[in-house]
Chains A and B, each alone.
Chain A
Amino acid sequence: MGSRIEILNEAGFRSDGRRQFELRDLTIDLAKHGEADGSALISHGLTQVLVSVYGPREAKMRSHTFHDRANINVEVVVASFSTGERRKRQRGDKRVLEFAATIKSTFEPVIRTNLYPRSQIDIYVQVLQQDGSTLQTCINAATLALMNAGIPMTDFVCAVTGGVHSTSPMLDLSTLEENDIPHVTVAVMPKTKKVVLVTMETRLHVDRFEEILNLARDAGAILHQEMKEAILARSATLVALAEPVTKNQNKGDDDVVMD
Protein backbone atom coordinates (compact mmCIF):
# COMPACT_ATOMS: atom_id res chain seq x y z
CA MET A 1 0.00 0.00 0.00
CA GLY A 2 2.89 2.27 0.79
CA SER A 3 3.98 2.66 -2.80
CA ARG A 4 0.54 3.95 -3.82
CA ILE A 5 0.97 7.17 -1.92
CA GLU A 6 2.90 9.88 -3.64
CA ILE A 7 5.52 11.15 -1.22
CA LEU A 8 6.37 14.19 -3.30
CA ASN A 9 4.27 15.07 -6.34
CA GLU A 10 5.43 16.82 -9.49
CA ALA A 11 4.31 20.21 -8.25
CA GLY A 12 6.61 19.79 -5.23
CA PHE A 13 3.92 19.13 -2.61
CA ARG A 14 3.96 16.38 -0.03
CA SER A 15 1.09 14.09 0.94
CA ASP A 16 -0.16 16.53 3.58
CA GLY A 17 0.16 19.60 1.36
CA ARG A 18 3.49 20.81 2.68
CA ARG A 19 6.51 21.91 0.67
CA GLN A 20 9.77 19.95 0.82
CA PHE A 21 11.42 21.95 3.62
CA GLU A 22 8.26 23.05 5.40
CA LEU A 23 7.93 22.10 9.04
CA ARG A 24 4.59 21.18 10.55
CA ASP A 25 2.69 23.50 12.82
CA LEU A 26 4.39 23.71 16.20
CA THR A 27 2.35 24.39 19.32
CA ILE A 28 3.96 24.79 22.69
CA ASP A 29 2.14 24.81 26.01
CA LEU A 30 4.33 25.45 29.03
CA ALA A 31 1.57 25.60 31.63
CA LYS A 32 2.19 23.81 34.90
CA HIS A 33 1.00 20.22 35.05
CA GLY A 34 0.32 18.88 38.50
CA GLU A 35 3.22 18.75 40.88
CA ALA A 36 5.98 18.77 38.27
CA ASP A 37 8.73 21.37 38.59
CA GLY A 38 8.56 21.98 34.89
CA SER A 39 6.50 20.61 32.07
CA ALA A 40 5.87 21.08 28.40
CA LEU A 41 3.16 19.85 26.10
CA ILE A 42 4.23 20.26 22.54
CA SER A 43 2.98 19.06 19.22
CA HIS A 44 4.61 18.94 15.82
CA GLY A 45 1.57 18.52 13.62
CA LEU A 46 -0.28 15.51 14.97
CA THR A 47 2.58 14.17 17.08
CA GLN A 48 2.02 15.24 20.65
CA VAL A 49 4.24 14.68 23.67
CA LEU A 50 3.94 15.73 27.29
CA VAL A 51 7.13 15.93 29.35
CA SER A 52 7.26 16.52 33.10
CA VAL A 53 10.49 17.25 34.89
CA TYR A 54 11.07 16.74 38.60
CA GLY A 55 14.19 17.83 40.34
CA PRO A 56 16.96 18.25 41.08
CA ARG A 57 15.84 16.24 44.08
CA GLU A 58 17.11 13.48 46.31
CA ALA A 59 17.42 10.19 44.47
CA LYS A 60 14.95 7.50 45.49
CA MET A 61 17.68 4.91 45.38
CA ARG A 62 20.99 5.57 47.06
CA SER A 63 22.84 3.52 44.46
CA HIS A 64 21.72 5.93 41.74
CA THR A 65 23.64 8.89 43.09
CA PHE A 66 26.99 10.15 41.86
CA HIS A 67 29.27 12.04 44.17
CA ASP A 68 30.19 14.69 41.60
CA ARG A 69 27.10 15.19 39.45
CA ALA A 70 23.36 14.72 39.22
CA ASN A 71 21.91 11.56 37.80
CA ILE A 72 19.42 11.95 34.95
CA ASN A 73 16.59 9.49 34.90
CA VAL A 74 14.36 9.26 31.85
CA GLU A 75 11.18 7.24 31.68
CA VAL A 76 9.13 6.97 28.53
CA VAL A 77 5.54 5.83 28.31
CA VAL A 78 3.95 5.40 24.92
CA ALA A 79 0.18 5.65 25.21
CA SER A 80 -1.52 2.62 23.72
CA PHE A 81 -3.93 4.91 21.84
CA SER A 82 -1.14 6.97 20.30
CA THR A 83 -0.93 5.09 17.01
CA GLY A 84 -3.49 3.93 14.46
CA GLU A 85 -3.44 0.35 15.61
CA ARG A 86 -4.07 0.10 19.31
CA ARG A 87 -1.14 -1.63 20.89
CA LYS A 88 -0.04 -1.89 24.46
CA ARG A 89 3.68 -1.71 24.93
CA GLN A 90 5.09 -3.28 28.01
CA ARG A 91 7.36 -1.38 30.32
CA GLY A 92 10.30 -3.61 29.56
CA ASP A 93 9.94 -3.22 25.79
CA LYS A 94 13.43 -2.87 24.31
CA ARG A 95 12.39 -0.18 21.85
CA VAL A 96 10.96 2.01 24.58
CA LEU A 97 14.01 1.41 26.77
CA GLU A 98 16.28 2.39 23.90
CA PHE A 99 14.19 5.49 23.31
CA ALA A 100 14.63 6.51 26.93
CA ALA A 101 18.37 5.82 26.80
CA THR A 102 18.63 7.98 23.68
CA ILE A 103 16.92 10.93 25.36
CA LYS A 104 19.05 10.49 28.45
CA SER A 105 22.33 10.51 26.58
CA THR A 106 21.23 13.49 24.51
CA PHE A 107 20.75 15.63 27.58
CA GLU A 108 23.69 14.39 29.63
CA PRO A 109 26.26 16.67 27.95
CA VAL A 110 23.88 19.65 27.88
CA ILE A 111 22.55 19.79 31.44
CA ARG A 112 25.05 21.22 33.94
CA THR A 113 24.82 18.13 36.11
CA ASN A 114 27.99 19.00 38.02
CA LEU A 115 26.10 21.77 39.85
CA TYR A 116 23.91 19.27 41.68
CA PRO A 117 26.03 16.47 43.11
CA ARG A 118 24.28 13.55 44.78
CA SER A 119 20.87 14.42 43.33
CA GLN A 120 18.60 13.24 40.59
CA ILE A 121 16.68 14.87 37.76
CA ASP A 122 13.68 12.90 36.54
CA ILE A 123 12.31 13.37 33.06
CA TYR A 124 8.99 11.65 32.44
CA VAL A 125 7.96 11.49 28.81
CA GLN A 126 4.39 10.70 27.79
CA VAL A 127 3.87 10.12 24.10
CA LEU A 128 0.22 11.01 23.52
CA GLN A 129 -0.11 11.00 19.75
CA GLN A 130 2.25 9.67 17.13
CA ASP A 131 2.39 10.83 13.57
CA GLY A 132 6.06 10.50 12.70
CA SER A 133 9.12 12.28 14.13
CA THR A 134 8.40 11.06 17.65
CA LEU A 135 12.01 11.32 18.82
CA GLN A 136 12.22 14.87 17.51
CA THR A 137 9.12 15.89 19.44
CA CYS A 138 10.28 14.15 22.63
CA ILE A 139 13.65 15.91 22.60
CA ASN A 140 12.18 19.34 21.90
CA ALA A 141 9.58 18.85 24.62
CA ALA A 142 12.22 17.69 27.10
CA THR A 143 14.37 20.76 26.36
CA LEU A 144 11.47 23.09 27.08
CA ALA A 145 10.35 21.19 30.17
CA LEU A 146 13.88 21.29 31.60
CA MET A 147 14.10 25.03 31.00
CA ASN A 148 10.66 25.50 32.48
CA ALA A 149 11.87 23.69 35.59
CA GLY A 150 14.79 26.11 35.81
CA ILE A 151 17.49 23.51 35.35
CA PRO A 152 20.74 25.08 34.11
CA MET A 153 21.73 24.01 30.63
CA THR A 154 24.55 25.10 28.33
CA ASP A 155 22.24 25.50 25.34
CA PHE A 156 18.94 24.52 23.75
CA VAL A 157 18.71 21.14 22.10
CA CYS A 158 16.63 21.31 18.94
CA ALA A 159 15.85 18.11 17.09
CA VAL A 160 14.65 17.74 13.52
CA THR A 161 13.90 14.68 11.43
CA GLY A 162 14.93 14.72 7.81
CA GLY A 163 14.44 12.26 5.00
CA VAL A 164 15.28 11.78 1.36
CA HIS A 165 12.79 10.84 -1.32
CA SER A 166 14.91 9.58 -4.25
CA THR A 167 17.11 12.68 -4.49
CA SER A 168 14.99 15.37 -2.87
CA PRO A 169 15.50 15.94 0.85
CA MET A 170 12.57 16.90 3.12
CA LEU A 171 12.07 17.81 6.75
CA ASP A 172 9.79 16.92 9.68
CA LEU A 173 8.35 13.65 8.39
CA SER A 174 4.91 12.27 9.10
CA THR A 175 4.28 8.54 9.72
CA LEU A 176 3.39 8.04 6.09
CA GLU A 177 6.68 9.45 4.94
CA GLU A 178 8.70 7.79 7.70
CA ASN A 179 7.46 4.36 6.64
CA ASP A 180 8.48 4.92 3.06
CA ILE A 181 11.74 6.82 2.94
CA PRO A 182 15.07 6.76 4.80
CA HIS A 183 15.13 9.21 7.66
CA VAL A 184 17.65 10.78 10.04
CA THR A 185 17.01 12.51 13.37
CA VAL A 186 19.52 15.21 14.24
CA ALA A 187 19.65 17.18 17.49
CA VAL A 188 21.68 20.38 17.39
CA MET A 189 22.86 22.94 19.87
CA PRO A 190 22.01 26.16 18.02
CA LYS A 191 24.64 28.37 19.61
CA THR A 192 27.64 26.30 18.58
CA LYS A 193 25.90 24.53 15.68
CA LYS A 194 27.26 21.26 17.00
CA VAL A 195 25.27 18.06 16.84
CA VAL A 196 24.53 16.11 20.01
CA LEU A 197 22.56 13.29 18.46
CA VAL A 198 22.49 11.75 15.02
CA THR A 199 20.50 8.60 14.50
CA MET A 200 19.52 6.82 11.37
CA GLU A 201 18.04 3.36 10.99
CA THR A 202 17.40 2.99 7.28
CA ARG A 203 19.68 2.53 4.34
CA LEU A 204 20.96 5.70 2.69
CA HIS A 205 23.87 6.54 0.41
CA VAL A 206 26.72 8.51 1.96
CA ASP A 207 26.35 11.49 -0.40
CA ARG A 208 22.65 11.89 0.37
CA PHE A 209 23.38 11.63 4.07
CA GLU A 210 25.72 14.59 3.95
CA GLU A 211 23.03 16.74 2.35
CA ILE A 212 20.33 15.85 4.84
CA LEU A 213 22.62 16.24 7.85
CA ASN A 214 23.46 19.82 6.92
CA LEU A 215 19.86 20.63 6.11
CA ALA A 216 18.56 19.29 9.41
CA ARG A 217 21.19 21.27 11.26
CA ASP A 218 19.97 24.50 9.66
CA ALA A 219 16.34 23.61 10.38
CA GLY A 220 17.28 23.25 14.03
CA ALA A 221 18.09 26.97 14.10
CA ILE A 222 14.55 27.80 12.94
CA LEU A 223 13.03 25.64 15.66
CA HIS A 224 15.31 27.32 18.15
CA GLN A 225 13.69 30.71 17.47
CA GLU A 226 10.22 29.31 18.09
CA MET A 227 11.26 27.57 21.27
CA LYS A 228 13.06 30.62 22.58
CA GLU A 229 10.02 32.81 21.97
CA ALA A 230 7.82 30.36 23.86
CA ILE A 231 10.18 30.29 26.84
CA LEU A 232 10.45 34.10 26.93
CA ALA A 233 6.65 34.47 26.68
CA ARG A 234 6.19 32.04 29.55
CA SER A 235 8.71 33.91 31.71
CA ALA A 236 6.96 37.20 30.88
CA THR A 237 3.60 35.86 32.08
CA LEU A 238 5.18 34.54 35.26
CA VAL A 239 6.80 37.92 35.96
CA ALA A 240 3.48 39.70 35.29
CA LEU A 241 1.70 37.35 37.70
CA ALA A 242 4.26 37.92 40.41
CA GLU A 243 4.11 41.72 40.28
CA PRO A 244 0.70 42.51 41.88
CA VAL A 245 1.59 40.37 44.88
CA THR A 246 4.70 42.40 45.68
CA LYS A 247 2.75 45.64 45.19
CA ASN A 248 0.03 44.52 47.59
CA GLN A 249 2.60 43.58 50.16
CA ASN A 250 4.12 47.05 50.02
CA LYS A 251 0.69 48.64 50.52
CA GLY A 252 -0.01 46.62 53.68
CA ASP A 253 0.65 47.60 57.30
CA ASP A 254 4.19 48.62 58.08
CA ASP A 255 4.70 46.09 60.84
CA VAL A 256 3.87 43.18 58.51
CA VAL A 257 6.50 44.05 55.92
CA MET A 258 9.72 42.24 56.54
CA ASP A 259 13.20 43.15 55.32
Chain B
Amino acid sequence: MRPPSPSIPEKEFLNSALKQNLRIDGRAPLDMRTPVFIFGPELGWVDCSLGKTRVIAYVDAKMVKPTPERPFEGMITIHSELSPMASSEYETGRPSEEEVTITRMLDKIIKRSDALDKESLCILAGQRVWHIRLSLHFLADAGNMVDCACLAGIVALRHFRRPEVEVIGDDEVIVHSPLERAPMPLAIHHSPFCFTFAFFADPETPPILDPTQLEQRLSAGLMSIALNAQKEICVLQKLGGVPQDTEEVLRLVKVAVAQAKELSNTVDAKLTADWETRKVEVR
Protein backbone atom coordinates (compact mmCIF):
# COMPACT_ATOMS: atom_id res chain seq x y z
CA MET B 1 0.00 0.00 0.00
CA ARG B 2 1.34 3.39 -0.92
CA PRO B 3 1.18 5.88 1.97
CA PRO B 4 -1.42 8.60 1.62
CA SER B 5 0.20 11.66 0.13
CA PRO B 6 -0.16 14.90 2.11
CA SER B 7 -3.25 16.90 1.25
CA ILE B 8 -2.95 19.97 -0.97
CA PRO B 9 -3.65 22.54 1.82
CA GLU B 10 -1.06 20.82 4.01
CA LYS B 11 1.45 20.96 1.21
CA GLU B 12 0.80 24.59 0.38
CA PHE B 13 0.91 25.65 4.00
CA LEU B 14 4.24 23.96 4.59
CA ASN B 15 5.77 25.31 1.41
CA SER B 16 4.69 28.88 2.02
CA ALA B 17 5.84 28.72 5.64
CA LEU B 18 9.23 27.38 4.66
CA LYS B 19 9.66 30.16 2.14
CA GLN B 20 9.47 32.58 5.07
CA ASN B 21 12.05 30.54 7.00
CA LEU B 22 9.38 29.16 9.32
CA ARG B 23 8.91 25.54 10.23
CA ILE B 24 5.77 23.94 11.54
CA ASP B 25 7.37 22.88 14.81
CA GLY B 26 8.87 26.33 15.39
CA ARG B 27 12.47 25.50 14.60
CA ALA B 28 14.84 27.59 12.49
CA PRO B 29 15.74 25.96 9.13
CA LEU B 30 19.12 24.74 10.33
CA ASP B 31 18.04 23.67 13.82
CA MET B 32 18.01 20.10 14.96
CA ARG B 33 15.47 18.56 17.29
CA THR B 34 17.06 18.00 20.71
CA PRO B 35 17.93 14.35 21.13
CA VAL B 36 16.66 12.63 24.28
CA PHE B 37 18.43 9.56 25.61
CA ILE B 38 17.02 7.04 28.04
CA PHE B 39 19.57 4.52 29.23
CA GLY B 40 18.31 1.11 30.17
CA PRO B 41 19.22 -0.93 33.23
CA GLU B 42 21.78 -2.88 31.21
CA LEU B 43 24.92 -1.41 29.74
CA GLY B 44 24.57 -0.89 26.01
CA TRP B 45 20.83 -0.32 25.96
CA VAL B 46 19.80 3.10 24.73
CA ASP B 47 16.48 4.57 23.74
CA CYS B 48 17.12 7.61 21.59
CA SER B 49 14.48 9.97 20.33
CA LEU B 50 14.51 12.99 18.07
CA GLY B 51 11.11 14.56 18.55
CA LYS B 52 8.66 11.72 17.90
CA THR B 53 11.18 9.60 15.99
CA ARG B 54 12.31 6.87 18.34
CA VAL B 55 14.91 4.13 18.02
CA ILE B 56 16.17 1.61 20.56
CA ALA B 57 19.71 0.35 20.19
CA TYR B 58 21.03 -2.64 22.06
CA VAL B 59 24.56 -4.02 22.05
CA ASP B 60 25.64 -7.47 23.10
CA ALA B 61 28.85 -9.39 22.75
CA LYS B 62 29.64 -13.06 22.47
CA MET B 63 32.73 -15.08 21.73
CA VAL B 64 33.10 -16.68 18.33
CA LYS B 65 35.79 -18.17 16.13
CA PRO B 66 37.17 -15.54 13.73
CA THR B 67 37.10 -15.96 9.98
CA PRO B 68 40.24 -17.58 8.55
CA GLU B 69 40.96 -14.46 6.42
CA ARG B 70 41.07 -12.16 9.44
CA PRO B 71 42.23 -14.14 12.46
CA PHE B 72 43.16 -11.03 14.46
CA GLU B 73 39.95 -9.09 14.07
CA GLY B 74 36.71 -9.16 15.98
CA MET B 75 33.37 -8.92 14.24
CA ILE B 76 30.63 -6.34 14.25
CA THR B 77 27.18 -6.88 12.84
CA ILE B 78 24.30 -4.48 12.68
CA HIS B 79 20.79 -5.85 12.77
CA SER B 80 18.09 -3.50 11.71
CA GLU B 81 14.75 -4.10 10.22
CA LEU B 82 12.04 -1.59 9.59
CA SER B 83 8.70 -3.00 10.55
CA PRO B 84 5.25 -1.52 9.97
CA MET B 85 5.39 -0.58 13.64
CA ALA B 86 7.48 2.50 12.82
CA SER B 87 5.23 3.74 10.08
CA SER B 88 2.67 2.31 7.69
CA GLU B 89 5.12 3.08 4.88
CA TYR B 90 7.20 0.03 5.71
CA GLU B 91 6.20 -3.48 4.91
CA THR B 92 7.61 -6.74 6.11
CA GLY B 93 9.29 -8.99 3.60
CA ARG B 94 11.16 -7.54 0.67
CA PRO B 95 13.16 -4.50 1.79
CA SER B 96 11.97 -1.24 0.30
CA GLU B 97 14.33 1.20 -1.36
CA GLU B 98 14.25 3.44 1.68
CA GLU B 99 15.06 0.59 4.00
CA VAL B 100 18.05 -0.38 1.88
CA THR B 101 19.30 3.20 2.05
CA ILE B 102 18.95 3.35 5.83
CA THR B 103 20.65 0.03 6.54
CA ARG B 104 23.47 0.66 4.08
CA MET B 105 24.00 4.11 5.53
CA LEU B 106 24.26 2.70 9.07
CA ASP B 107 26.65 0.06 7.84
CA LYS B 108 28.85 2.69 6.25
CA ILE B 109 28.77 5.07 9.20
CA ILE B 110 29.35 2.57 11.97
CA LYS B 111 31.25 -0.26 10.33
CA ARG B 112 33.13 1.07 7.33
CA SER B 113 34.32 4.29 8.91
CA ASP B 114 36.34 2.18 11.41
CA ALA B 115 34.65 3.75 14.41
CA LEU B 116 35.33 0.61 16.42
CA ASP B 117 38.79 -0.89 16.78
CA LYS B 118 38.34 -4.44 15.56
CA GLU B 119 41.77 -5.69 16.57
CA SER B 120 41.14 -4.90 20.22
CA LEU B 121 38.26 -7.40 20.08
CA CYS B 122 40.69 -10.25 19.53
CA ILE B 123 41.16 -12.57 22.50
CA LEU B 124 43.16 -15.50 21.08
CA ALA B 125 44.40 -15.09 17.52
CA GLY B 126 42.60 -17.41 15.15
CA GLN B 127 40.52 -19.02 17.91
CA ARG B 128 38.48 -16.56 19.93
CA VAL B 129 37.29 -13.06 19.16
CA TRP B 130 34.42 -10.90 20.36
CA HIS B 131 31.43 -10.64 18.11
CA ILE B 132 29.68 -7.34 18.79
CA ARG B 133 26.08 -7.24 17.74
CA LEU B 134 24.21 -3.99 17.47
CA SER B 135 20.47 -4.39 17.09
CA LEU B 136 18.33 -1.44 16.24
CA HIS B 137 14.62 -1.38 16.81
CA PHE B 138 12.77 1.34 14.99
CA LEU B 139 9.81 2.25 17.17
CA ALA B 140 8.40 5.32 15.48
CA ASP B 141 9.20 7.22 12.31
CA ALA B 142 8.46 10.93 12.51
CA GLY B 143 11.09 11.77 9.93
CA ASN B 144 14.86 11.50 9.76
CA MET B 145 15.26 7.93 10.93
CA VAL B 146 18.85 7.70 9.69
CA ASP B 147 20.18 10.37 12.04
CA CYS B 148 18.28 8.97 14.99
CA ALA B 149 19.38 5.39 14.33
CA CYS B 150 22.99 6.41 13.83
CA LEU B 151 23.00 8.43 17.03
CA ALA B 152 21.38 5.60 18.99
CA GLY B 153 23.89 3.10 17.59
CA ILE B 154 26.95 5.19 18.43
CA VAL B 155 25.72 6.05 21.93
CA ALA B 156 24.89 2.40 22.63
CA LEU B 157 28.36 1.30 21.55
CA ARG B 158 29.94 3.89 23.81
CA HIS B 159 27.67 2.94 26.69
CA PHE B 160 28.40 -0.75 26.37
CA ARG B 161 30.96 -2.58 28.54
CA ARG B 162 32.22 -6.04 27.70
CA PRO B 163 33.33 -8.51 30.38
CA GLU B 164 37.02 -8.58 31.18
CA VAL B 165 38.83 -11.68 29.92
CA GLU B 166 42.13 -13.19 30.84
CA VAL B 167 44.24 -15.58 28.78
CA ILE B 168 46.24 -18.17 30.66
CA GLY B 169 48.88 -20.08 28.77
CA ASP B 170 48.12 -20.79 25.15
CA ASP B 171 44.49 -21.73 25.03
CA GLU B 172 42.76 -21.11 28.34
CA VAL B 173 40.43 -18.14 28.52
CA ILE B 174 38.80 -16.94 31.70
CA VAL B 175 35.82 -14.64 31.48
CA HIS B 176 35.48 -12.62 34.65
CA SER B 177 32.02 -11.84 35.83
CA PRO B 178 31.23 -8.15 36.33
CA LEU B 179 31.23 -8.79 40.08
CA GLU B 180 34.88 -9.85 40.05
CA ARG B 181 36.38 -7.37 37.65
CA ALA B 182 34.97 -4.18 36.18
CA PRO B 183 33.79 -4.64 32.59
CA MET B 184 35.76 -2.90 29.85
CA PRO B 185 34.51 -0.25 27.43
CA LEU B 186 34.98 -0.88 23.71
CA ALA B 187 37.94 0.77 21.98
CA ILE B 188 36.33 3.49 19.90
CA HIS B 189 38.42 5.54 17.50
CA HIS B 190 35.91 8.28 16.84
CA SER B 191 32.18 8.88 17.05
CA PRO B 192 30.55 9.83 13.77
CA PHE B 193 27.23 11.67 13.86
CA CYS B 194 24.87 11.83 10.93
CA PHE B 195 23.03 14.96 9.78
CA THR B 196 20.37 14.93 7.13
CA PHE B 197 19.37 17.99 5.13
CA ALA B 198 16.26 18.23 2.97
CA PHE B 199 16.08 20.26 -0.22
CA PHE B 200 12.96 21.59 -1.86
CA ALA B 201 12.08 21.99 -5.51
CA ASP B 202 11.37 25.69 -5.07
CA PRO B 203 14.71 27.53 -5.37
CA GLU B 204 13.65 30.17 -2.81
CA THR B 205 13.07 27.64 -0.06
CA PRO B 206 16.22 27.18 2.03
CA PRO B 207 17.51 23.68 2.80
CA ILE B 208 16.49 22.43 6.25
CA LEU B 209 18.24 20.25 8.80
CA ASP B 210 16.59 17.24 10.44
CA PRO B 211 13.32 17.12 8.47
CA THR B 212 10.13 15.84 10.07
CA GLN B 213 8.12 13.19 8.27
CA LEU B 214 5.92 15.70 6.45
CA GLU B 215 8.89 17.82 5.43
CA GLN B 216 10.75 14.74 4.29
CA ARG B 217 7.86 13.58 2.18
CA LEU B 218 7.39 16.95 0.51
CA SER B 219 11.10 17.50 -0.05
CA ALA B 220 12.72 16.99 -3.42
CA GLY B 221 15.89 15.37 -2.14
CA LEU B 222 18.00 14.63 0.89
CA MET B 223 21.66 14.94 1.70
CA SER B 224 23.19 13.03 4.61
CA ILE B 225 26.55 13.97 6.05
CA ALA B 226 28.19 11.84 8.72
CA LEU B 227 31.14 13.38 10.47
CA ASN B 228 32.94 13.37 13.79
CA ALA B 229 34.01 16.15 16.14
CA GLN B 230 37.49 16.11 14.57
CA LYS B 231 36.03 17.56 11.36
CA GLU B 232 36.44 14.36 9.39
CA ILE B 233 33.64 13.50 7.02
CA CYS B 234 32.95 9.75 7.16
CA VAL B 235 30.06 9.48 4.74
CA LEU B 236 28.54 12.10 2.50
CA GLN B 237 25.60 11.13 0.44
CA LYS B 238 23.61 13.32 -1.84
CA LEU B 239 21.72 11.07 -4.16
CA GLY B 240 19.85 12.90 -6.87
CA GLY B 241 17.29 15.41 -5.74
CA VAL B 242 17.61 19.06 -6.66
CA PRO B 243 20.95 19.78 -8.32
CA GLN B 244 23.01 22.08 -6.09
CA ASP B 245 26.01 24.36 -6.45
CA THR B 246 29.19 23.03 -4.89
CA GLU B 247 29.27 26.18 -2.75
CA GLU B 248 25.90 25.25 -1.25
CA VAL B 249 27.08 21.70 -0.51
CA LEU B 250 30.19 23.07 1.19
CA ARG B 251 28.12 25.55 3.19
CA LEU B 252 25.97 22.72 4.55
CA VAL B 253 29.08 20.71 5.35
CA LYS B 254 30.23 23.66 7.50
CA VAL B 255 26.85 23.71 9.24
CA ALA B 256 27.20 19.98 9.94
CA VAL B 257 30.71 20.51 11.33
CA ALA B 258 29.37 22.97 13.90
CA GLN B 259 26.44 20.70 14.77
CA ALA B 260 28.72 17.69 15.20
CA LYS B 261 30.85 19.54 17.72
CA GLU B 262 27.78 20.50 19.72
CA LEU B 263 26.22 17.05 19.56
CA SER B 264 29.48 15.41 20.54
CA ASN B 265 29.58 17.54 23.71
CA THR B 266 25.96 16.70 24.56
CA VAL B 267 26.57 12.99 24.10
CA ASP B 268 29.70 13.11 26.25
CA ALA B 269 27.80 14.94 29.00
CA LYS B 270 24.86 12.52 28.89
CA LEU B 271 27.13 9.48 29.03
CA THR B 272 29.10 10.79 32.01
CA ALA B 273 25.89 11.78 33.78
CA ASP B 274 24.53 8.26 33.33
CA TRP B 275 27.80 6.69 34.36
CA GLU B 276 27.77 8.53 37.66
CA THR B 277 24.43 7.00 38.59
CA ARG B 278 25.80 3.48 38.15
CA LYS B 279 27.85 1.51 40.62
CA VAL B 280 30.05 -0.58 38.42
CA GLU B 281 33.40 -0.28 40.06
CA VAL B 282 34.03 -0.65 43.78
CA ARG B 283 37.53 -0.13 44.96
Contact = CB atoms under 8 A, between A and B. Distances in A.
* Chain B associates with chain A: yes
Interface of A: 94-95, 97-98, 101-102, 104-109, 184, 189, 192-207, 209-210, 213-214, 217
Given A184-B236, A203-B234, A206-B233, A196 B100 contact: no
Nearest to B223: A198
B79 interface: no
Interface in B194-251: 220-221, 223, 227, 231-246, 249-250
A207 B231 CA distance: 9
10 contacts: A97-B95, A107-B240, A194-B243, A195-B238, A195-B246, A199-B238, A203-B113, A204-B232, A206-B254, A207-B231
B240 A198 contact: no
B242 A101 contact: no
Contacts of B157: none
A54 B253 CA distance: 38
B103 interface: yes
A206 B232 contact: yes
A206 B240 contact: no
Given A101-B100, A101-B101, A203-B113, A197 B253 contact: no
B114 interface: yes
A91 B253 CA distance: 35
B104 A109 contact: no
A189 B243 contact: yes
Contacts of B114: 203
A213 B250 contact: yes
A94 B246 contact: no
A197 B240 contact: yes
Nearest to A196: B243
B21 to A, nearest CB: 23
A197 B233 CA distance: 16
B112 interface: yes
A203 B246 contact: no
B97 interface: yes
B257 interface: yes
A109 B240 contact: yes
Contact size range, B: 35 or more
B62 interface: no
Contact of B244 (A102, A195, A200): A195
Contact of B245 (A104, A105, A108, A193): A193
B239 A102 contact: yes
Given A97-B100, A213-B249, A196 B240 contact: yes
B250 A98 contact: no
Given A94-B103, A98-B104, A210-B250, A203 B232 contact: yes
B100 to A, nearest CB: 5
A68 B221 CA distance: 19
Contact of B246 (A98, A105, A202, A213): A213
B257 A195 contact: no
B121 to A, nearest CB: 20
A97 B108 CA distance: 15
Q: Which of the listed residues A108, A192, A206, A217 has the most CB atoms from chain B within 10 Å of its own CB? A: A206
Nearest to B115: A203
Contacts of B245: 193-195
B99 to A, nearest CB: 9
B191 to A, nearest CB: 13
A173 B9 CA distance: 49
Contacts of A108: 240
Contacts of B221: 105, 109
A206 B246 contact: no
Contacts of B234: 202-203
List 8 A-B pairs, minimum CB-CB distance, nearest first.
A105-B240, A194-B243, A105-B239, A200-B236, A198-B238, A206-B231, A98-B104, A196-B243
Contact of B237 (A194, A199, A210): A199
Nearest to B105: A98
Nearest to A184: B236
Q: Which of the listed residues B95, B227, B249, B257 has the most CB atoms from chain A within 10 Å of its own CB? A: B249
Given A184-B236, A209-B253, A95 B104 contact: yes
A109 B219 CA distance: 13
A97 B94 CA distance: 12
Given A101-B101, A101-B239, A105-B240, A198 B249 contact: yes
Contact of A98 (B100, B232, B235): B100
A98 B249 CA distance: 22
B239 A199 contact: yes
